[in-house]
Amino acid sequence: MQRYARVWISAWNGRSAAGDAEATWQAVSRKQRRLIQDPTWGWIGRCCSDQTELGLAVAQPLHAHLHGRLAIGLGTSKGSLAALPGIRIDQALPGALTPRLAAELRLGSYLPCACAAACSTGLACLLAGADLLERDQADSALVGASEASLSPLIVAGFANAGVLCGQTPPEAFATATGFAPAEGAAAVALDRRAGPWRLVAGVRLGDAGHETHFIDPATLRTALEGLWEALPDPDLIICHATGTAAGDAYELAGLSHGPWHAAPRITCKPWIGHTLGASGVVELTAALHSPARHLWKLSLGFGGHLIAVACQRE
């Protein structure tokens, strides 16, 4: 676990099938499904089919909050699939989004801190930027993720893995329906100066027991114990909650045993879909509009990427 004493969230912006971060929070908190039912793919969350355009849309409004030595990390777990057939195959790499957005925003020199960590990509980028601020290597950071991977290739891959809900309305911590794949993006401006939220702690752990889901209960328990030590008694836990049988059972078992078991929880994916690599930061920025003062966000990515953060309203 990494504690942070000098990292604040000065501003944030998000986009999901429900709209901006505040609209996303309203949809999630009121349990209003903002998905569409595609006749071929089933339930999906449409937002924007170009991840650079989507990333720019959430990053542009935060430009005024950046100053001094910059760190930038807008990640994606898939890269631009539209670039694969063309000669600019470099744009299909997950790390290509950050320099493209930095150029569009004319940000000049910066420290790159983009990461690719499957469904935990957005939170991984957030903590990578926070590390640079905490070590006094940057004064502000633009971090987050953009995901626009609703393509036949990706949807077919997830369908083959048996994790999509298809034509069944998605649920979480109930019947194992699977999830609705969705587009989305979110960006966060971090600052060493006081802001509306403080980043208290971050946890980065791995579970190499299986290629798609977690199997070691100690991984999640260690993360939860770390968050409890840094910020006990959270007002709200934003769960990962994909609606898959193995994933939900693993997460629910960890959440149900420990001093955090009575903390209020909320699930986002049944209402806005699973925005894949952007899901952690999309759901976090939505929850920053909640009335909570102390919140945790959990992200359990494919490949065993467990990343979690604790934030406190100032």
Q: For the chain, give every domain's residue range.
A: 1-314
* pTM for this prediction: 0.94
pLDDT over threshold 60, residue 72: yes
**Whole-number pLDDT of residue 8:** 99
Quick: pLDDT tens for 141-154.
999 999 998 888 88
DSSP state letters, 1-60: -EE-SS-EEEEEEEEETTEEHHHHHHHHHTT----EEETTTEEEB-S-S-HHHHHHHHHG
- For residues 314 and 196, the answer to whether their CB atoms sit within 8 Å is yes
Q: What is the CATH number of domain 1-314?
A: 3.40.47.10
Look at residues 269, 244, 238, 287 and name the one whose alpha carbon lies nearest to residue 34: 269
Residues 16-28 have pLDDT tens digits of 999 999 999 999 9
Q: How confident is the model at residue 90 (pLDDT cuts 50, 70, 90)?
A: low
d(CA 274, CA 298): 14
